[in-house]
Homo-oligomer: A and B are copies of this chain.
Amino acid sequence: MLVAQSGGPTSVINASVAGVIQEAGKHGLIEEIYGGLNGIYGILNEELIDLNEEKARTIEGLKYTPGAALGTCRYKIDSKKKPEQAAKDMDRLFEVFQAHNIRYFFYAGGNDSQDTSNQIHQEAVKRNYEMRVIGVPKTIDNDLPHTDHTPGFGSAAKYVATTVAEVAIDVGGMATDEGACCIIEIMGRTAGWLSASAVLARKNGVGAPHIILLPELPFNEEQFLAKVKETVDANKFCVVVVGEGIKNAAGEELGADKSRLDAFGHPVLSGAADRLAELVQGKLNTKTRTVKLGYAQRAAAHLASLRDIEEAVMCGEAAVRAAVEGRSGFMVKLVRTSSDPYHCATDLQDLSDIANAVHHIPRDWISEDGFLPNEKFIEYCKPLIEGETKLAYEGGLPKYAVLDKVPVDKTLPARA
C-alpha cells in the first residue's frame, strides 16, 4: 500500500496517516506500508519511503504533529487543460504503482486532491490494474461536500476561537474613550467556516468578536462601517474577524491581488484585513490594528482539538478497512447523528461526488444582518473544538515527531 498527502497541511493530516499506518499493520493482506513523498509530485519521481522502518513511537507521535510529515504538493494532474502532460503523468504513476506492486492507495487531501484520487481510481479501472483508491478528507476550510465536517477544521477552529478570544481580551482591556478596533484575517478562500468559528469566542452569545465577515455574503461597506461605529460607541472597542476571500457586491475580492495565481489557477488572496483597516481608520478615525494568522492556523498543533485528532485517525483507519473490504473510488466521510451528546461515525462517499465541489455555510446559519453566525452554526461547531491535545513539551517547546524516511529502492529510470 501507498499513502500520501496533498495540498495545504492541517494540524491533524499526520493523524490520518498514523491511522492509515496503524490500521494497515493489522491486515495481513497488506505486505508493505509505503509513503509517497510530496504527494503525486514525489510519487512521479518514485520517491517512496518504507513506513515499516519507522518506530511505533514516531507513528503515534504523528497524531500530535502538524504539517505534512510525508511532504505535500500542489501539483495537479490536469486532464482538461493539459491533457498531454496528464496522460504522461498517468502512465508514469501506474509504472510506479506496478513497479512496487501498489494495490492500495490512500490520499489525504482537500477538494483538488480528491479529484486526483478520483482520476487515479478511474484510470486503474480503465487500465484493469487492480488497485483500491480511497480518499481521506482533510482541510481546515471545511468546504468538502457530503461530509459533516473535515478533519483539520476542528483544530483550526479551536485555534482561531482561542486566538480571537485572547486578542479580544487584550483589545478590550486597552479600550478607552478614543475607541479601538482590531481586524483579524482568517483563511478560507470561498467558504467562511473557519472565520465563522471565531463566534465561539463570544461568551454566552455576547461580546467580542462583534463582527464576522464571511465570504458567503457580499461585503457592504456602508453597513459594515455603521456596525463598527455602533459597536465602538457602545463598547469602546470592536473586534472584527474577516475571511480572506470576502467580495463586494460586484464579486470582486477585497484583498485579491489578481496578478498572482496559484498552481490551481486560483487567485492568491491577502490583505482583506488591511483593506478594512484603512477603511475604519480613514472613515471612522478609529485606531485600528490587524492580525493575519496565515499558515499558523493550519499548523497550530499545540492547540489541536482532541476530537479532531481522534476523528482524523478514525478516517485513516476507515480508509484502510474500506480498501481491504474491496471498495475503491470513495472518500471517507464523517456522518453526525447527534450534536449533544456528540456522536459521529465514518461512511463512504463516491469520489466523483466530491471533486471540485464546495460546501458553503447555509444562509440560515447566519444572522439576518449577516454579521454573525447564529445558534445553528454554534451548535454545529462547538463539539468539534472539544478536548485538548496530549502533546509533550521539551525545553518549553512542543515535541513533534519526525520521520526517519528510509527510502524504498528505486527500480525505474528517472522521470522523463
Contact with B along A294-329 (1 / 0, CB 8 A): 111011111101000000000000000000000000
Q: Does A360 contact B (CB under 8 A)?
A: no
Given A176-B73, A176-B75, A292-B290, verify A397-B201 contact (CB < 8 Å): yes
Least CB separation from A278: chain B residue: B257
CA distance A166 to B298 in the complex (A): 9
In the complex, chain B residues whose CB is within 8 Å of the CB of A260: 281
In the complex, chain B residues whose CB is within 8 Å of the CB of A302: 162, 166, 303
Shortest C-beta distance, A41 to chain B (Å), equals: 6
Shortest C-beta distance, A298 to chain B (Å), equals: 6
CA distance A303 to B68 in the complex (A): 23
Q: Does A72 contact B (CB under 8 A)?
A: yes
Interface-located stretch among A87-95, A348-356, A388-396: A388-396
In the complex, chain B residues whose CB is within 8 Å of the CB of A300: 163, 166
In the complex, chain B residues whose CB is within 8 Å of the CB of A274: 270-271
Contact with B along A165-185 (1 / 0, CB 8 A): 111011111111000001000
Whether the Cβ atoms of A301 and B397 lie closer than 8 Å is no
The number of chain A residues touching the other chain, given as a range, is 35 or more
Which secondary structure dominates where chain A touches chain B?
mixed
CA distance A174 to B289 in the complex (A): 30
Shortest C-beta distance, A184 to chain B (Å), equals: 8
CA distance A18 to B298 in the complex (A): 34
Q: Does A284 contact B (CB under 8 A)?
A: no
CA distance A393 to B162 in the complex (A): 10
Whether the Cβ atoms of B176 and A38 lie closer than 8 Å is yes
CA distance A216 to B131 in the complex (A): 58
Within 8 A of B (CB), among A253-303: 260, 262, 270-271, 274, 281, 287, 289-296, 298-303
Within 8 A of B (CB), among A342-392: 382, 385-388
CA distance A291 to B41 in the complex (A): 26
CA distance A271 to B289 in the complex (A): 11
CA distance A173 to B299 in the complex (A): 11
Least CB separation from A165: chain B residue: B397
In the complex, chain B residues whose CB is within 8 Å of the CB of A69: 173
Shortest C-beta distance, A92 to chain B (Å), equals: 16
Within 8 A of B (CB), among A58-76: 65-75
CA distance A100 to B170 in the complex (A): 29
Shortest C-beta distance, A37 to chain B (Å), equals: 10
CA distance A386 to B397 in the complex (A): 8
Q: Does A158 contact B (CB under 8 A)?
A: yes
CA distance A71 to B171 in the complex (A): 9
Least CB separation from A42: chain B residue: B176
Whether the Cβ atoms of A200 and B158 lie closer than 8 Å is no
Whether the Cβ atoms of A295 and B182 lie closer than 8 Å is yes
Most chain B beta carbons < 10 A, residue from A271, A292, A305: A292
Shortest C-beta distance, A359 to chain B (Å), equals: 22
Q: Does A161 contact B (CB under 8 A)?
A: yes
In the complex, chain B residues whose CB is within 8 Å of the CB of A65: 169
CA distance A271 to B277 in the complex (A): 13
Most chain B beta carbons < 10 A, residue from A166, A176, A294, A385: A166
Q: Does A8 contact B (CB under 8 A)?
A: yes
Within 8 A of B (CB), among A32-56: 38, 41
Q: Does A19 contact B (CB under 8 A)?
A: no
Give the residue of B70, B167, B382 whose beta carbon is less than 8 angstroms from that of A295. B167
Q: Does A224 contact B (CB under 8 A)?
A: no
In the complex, chain B residues whose CB is within 8 Å of the CB of A299: 163, 166-167, 169-170
Shortest C-beta distance, A65 to chain B (Å), equals: 7
Q: A290-B292, A293-B296 are in contact. List 8 more A-B contacts (CB 8 A).
A: A41-B176, A67-B166, A67-B169, A165-B400, A167-B296, A167-B299, A291-B293, A291-B296
Q: Can you list the 4 inter-chain pairs with the closest CB atoms, starting with the nearest?
A: A67-B169, A291-B294, A68-B173, A385-B396
